[in-house]
Chain A
Amino acid sequence: MALESMGTIGNEMSDFDKTAMAHGYAKCHSCSNTQAIGEGRCDRCGATLHFRKDLSIQKTLAFLAAAIALYIPANVLPIMYTINLGRTSSSTIIGGVVTLFEHHSYGIAIIIFVASVFVPMAKMLILAYLCMVAKWPKLSSPNQASLLYRVTEVVGRWSMIDVFVVAVLVAMIQLGGIIAVEPGPAALSFAGVVFSTMLAAMSFDSRLIWDSTPRENEN
């Protein structure tokens, strides 16, 4: 039913020779049109054409540095304050997970732990690793690295969940001074972490993983 993978151009060429770049073709970043690079403008939408994203690794590392810098206040400072009968208590992201565990809500504790602790950490480590792979291709097989990149791209936005939880709690729990919830500074810095890791993933060019492949002895 599905007609797919119609074979590549030629059979006896090395991997790099089969790429669009080797043929002078570029894919437009804004309308996905594959075309000869010509004068550097897309025939279909007029955007500037380039073989690879400009300064991809530099930009990725810059956003990554921003994310790491924001990650520290996001974990050290409180994400929200609970005011109960005049007594204020604060909780950090990890503190919130621990409290949930103590209250035996294991399901939610796991969701929050995965979304706000595990995923951002894993994402930053993976992006740093991918930049290294682009530089030193012997570190990993391109298929593995691509899979890591795809997972990072899809999963990234779900980290926002903790910020939304704080937003909803602040709005809902305002009961005439008896109980109140106030947002803490970590909420905003955590949103910053999510944004910068998303931007880092977007500026990374996954084609760089495949570029340095004169790997004739694959399989």
Chain B
Amino acid sequence: MALYRDFLFDFLMSIFEESTQNTSGRESELIACHQCDLLVEVTELEEGSKAHCPRCSHQLLKKPKGGVSRPLALSIAALGLFGLSNAFPFMSFKGGAGQEQMITLCHNVMELYRHDSQLLALTVFGLVIVLPCLYLVATILILVPMAKGQRHPNFPRLAKLVFALAPWVMVDVFLLGILVSLTKISSMAKVEIGLSFISFAFFAATFSMVVSSMNKEWLWRAWERLETK
């Protein structure tokens, strides 16, 4: 068993050594693992590849495909879809007595506010409307100068904001919440899905893609490179 492992190790090392010879100009640098604090030497990554910690297998660095332009395009698309999901009725709902109720996304929050649950209204408003908007605007403000190859002095402040906001945006959770409540209502009355609902679903999907393509370690590194140019 041990022999086999040694052989495998040598084999992997030989592949690795070849690849370093091919790309002798690559820089390597020290990265501390965020999860277990192991100090690891990482050579520069190819696009679309990741480096993991050898001790705890946490992701150390990821270099996304398409560089800056991919998250930029996605976040502009997400902002557009967000505008669309506010412009049209979210869904309409027909009760037994012929009443019809149409609601939009903002209506949702206003209705909560009217029912003496201001704090709850504020929570939903924050998690589903304000924070995602803020996140996307800040992301676009960061990425536009970077795509042009400029180093913007506001980057540190905005980048800190973006990465602090990311876990608090719950657009995807809200989407699942809507689906659950739809099935709950459907036993009581007829529900029709509006145009905004579809665009909101696409918005949630696009938003998750933006979040996953914004790698903190990589983005700061890319910005730093611009500075030294």
Contact indicator B35/A172 (Cβ below 8 Å): no
Question: Chain A nearest CB: distance from B39 CB in Å?
Answer: 4
Q: For the complex, is B115 an interface residue (Cβ under 8 Å from A)? A: yes
Asked, given contacts A7-B41, A178-B95, A183-B112, whether A163 binds B120 with beta carbons under 8 Å apart, the answer is yes
Contact indicator B127/A168 (Cβ below 8 Å): no
Asked, given contacts A20-B37, A172-B103, A187-B120, whether A4 binds B174 with beta carbons under 8 Å apart, the answer is no
Asked, given contacts A1-B46, A6-B41, whether A170 binds B30 with beta carbons under 8 Å apart, the answer is no
Which one of A25-33, A55-63, A67-75 contacts B? A25-33
Contact indicator B156/A161 (Cβ below 8 Å): no
What interface size band does chain B fall in?
Answer: 35 or more
Question: Chain B nearest CB: distance from A129 CB in Å?
Answer: 17
Question: Chain B nearest CB: distance from A138 CB in Å?
Answer: 18
Contact indicator B120/A8 (Cβ below 8 Å): no
Determine the distance from Cα of A174 to Cα of B159 in the docked complex, in whole angstroms.
Answer: 42
Contacts of A51 in B (CB 8 A): 37
Q: Which of A4, A20, A161 contacts B180 (CB 8 A)?
A: A161
Contacts of A27 in B (CB 8 A): 32, 34, 37
Asked, given contacts A172-B181, A188-B119, A191-B120, whether A26 binds B173 with beta carbons under 8 Å apart, the answer is no
Interface contact tally, CB-CB below 8 A: 225
Contact flags (1/0) for A176-195 with B, using CB distance below 8 Å?
10110011000110010000
Contact flags (1/0) for A78-116 with B, using CB distance below 8 Å?
000000000000000000000010010100100110000
Contacts of B34 in A (CB 8 A): 27, 32, 206
Contact indicator A4/B103 (Cβ below 8 Å): no
Determine the distance from Cα of A191 to Cα of B224 in the docked complex, in whole angstroms.
Answer: 39
Q: For the complex, is A198 an interface residue (Cβ under 8 Å from B)? A: yes
Q: For the complex, is A122 an interface residue (Cβ under 8 Å from B)? A: no
Residue of A nearest to B178 (CB): A168
Contact indicator A31/B216 (Cβ below 8 Å): yes
Contacts of A3 in B (CB 8 A): 16, 19, 42-43, 45-46, 49, 51
Question: Chain B nearest CB: distance from A52 CB in Å?
Answer: 8
Contact indicator A171/B28 (Cβ below 8 Å): no
Contact indicator B39/A23 (Cβ below 8 Å): yes
Determine the distance from Cα of A158 to Cα of B170 in the docked complex, in whole angstroms.
Answer: 8
Q: Which of B108, B170, B188 contacts A157 (CB 8 A)?
A: B170
Question: Chain B nearest CB: distance from A74 CB in Å?
Answer: 13
Contacts of A191 in B (CB 8 A): 120, 123
Determine the distance from Cα of A44 to Cα of B167 in the docked complex, in whole angstroms.
Answer: 23
Contacts of B112 in A (CB 8 A): 167, 170-171, 183
Contacts of A33 in B (CB 8 A): 220
Contact indicator A210/B178 (Cβ below 8 Å): no
Question: Chain A nearest CB: distance from B211 CB in Å?
Answer: 12
Contacts of B37 in A (CB 8 A): 19-21, 27, 51, 207, 210-211
Q: For the complex, is A217 an interface residue (Cβ under 8 Å from B)? A: no
Contact indicator A179/B117 (Cβ below 8 Å): no
Pairs A–B under 8 Å by Cβ, sample size 13: A3-B43, A4-B49, A4-B60, A6-B40, A8-B40, A25-B30, A32-B217, A45-B156, A158-B173, A163-B177, A165-B184, A207-B35, A211-B37
Q: A163-B177, A198-B168 are in contact. List 15 more A-B contacts (CB 8 A).
A: A6-B28, A19-B36, A20-B37, A30-B163, A34-B29, A44-B220, A112-B180, A164-B173, A175-B99, A176-B99, A179-B95, A183-B115, A188-B120, A202-B167, A210-B55
